[in-house]
Structure 1
Amino acid sequence: MTGVAFGTVETPLGDFLVAVTGDGVAATAFHDGDAVRRAIVARLRLPETADATPARQARDELAGYFAGERRVFDVPIDWRLMSPLQRKVLGTLTATVGYGQVTTYGALAESSAAGVPARAIGSVMGSNPIPVIVPCHRVVAGNGLGGFSGGEGVEDKRWLLTLEGYLQPTLDWAL
């Protein structure tokens, strides 16, 4: 495939978009729309393909995740939108922090051995082009949840960590 295929998953957090190239998932977004798709196409420098079939596996895996039925993603990841530093830090995160687990910004800074101070880890998480599949929501501050640039912010991070069982559901939480 020489372009980018898109798929959308309806979730409790809204329509979740996935963009897939011939190498794998290159981007996800907490909102779908023409502007979001155009921005992804521009960043990838690839044409959009009308055939959504290449995005089917990622869309199905994301639907399973948001339904509470999938804990691991098997889709390949296309790391091209990430700098070498982002790849190192986010690769370490993906390989070491599983479903229902969290790590702190400081611990991730130490384990990725990238020479990045803990304060800079937040910037790497905030610029993650593949949230959820590359689980930046699993990185928390030493004294609380920390921030989250995806979706509606920290409330979506709280929802994802509740889905994964790390946080206890509140009375109004529903899957």
Structure 2
Amino acid sequence: MLAPASAVAAECPAFLNHDLRKLHSSDSVNLCDVASGKPMLVVNTASRCGYTGQFEGLEALHREYSDKGLVVVGFASDDFRQEAATEEEAANVCFKNFGVTFTMIAPTAVTGNDANPVFKAINSQSSQPNWNFHKYVLNARGEVVEAFPSRVKPDASELRSAVERVVADR
């Protein structure tokens, strides 16, 4: 039996309960609607970065673990001055070049006082990203259980182990 929507909303951490515009779209997503009670992999991204190829590995994780409850969310950001000049270009990199199907959020700040509400909460639980493609593994309660710097690829054993743990604990 499904829980009533109000019960699901009550379980969702407040920092996820915001309408965020999707990349190169007029549509918004509320992360409570897609991630409440589910483990998450949250990543700050940029489409003109030496790590941009990690989109491929993030998509592979999304495809492998989405049926086990993992929600992958990418936050496009120009905090490190490596995002595309336009959202259209950023969307082409994500969706056309790398076949991304996981949720991508329109460019937003992920560091400092201007960070979006999701990253403000993540940064307070962990540390703010110091470069693009910093990865945060959150459990089903919205708690950061591990964070990985840019150099840790999506297929790295330590990242996959963290994902396996939060999926199993769900």
Q: TM-score range by the shorter chain?
A: under 0.3
TM-score by length of 1: 0.27
Name which structure has the greater RCO, CA cutoff 8 Å, separation 6+.
Answer: 2
TM-score by length of 2: 0.27
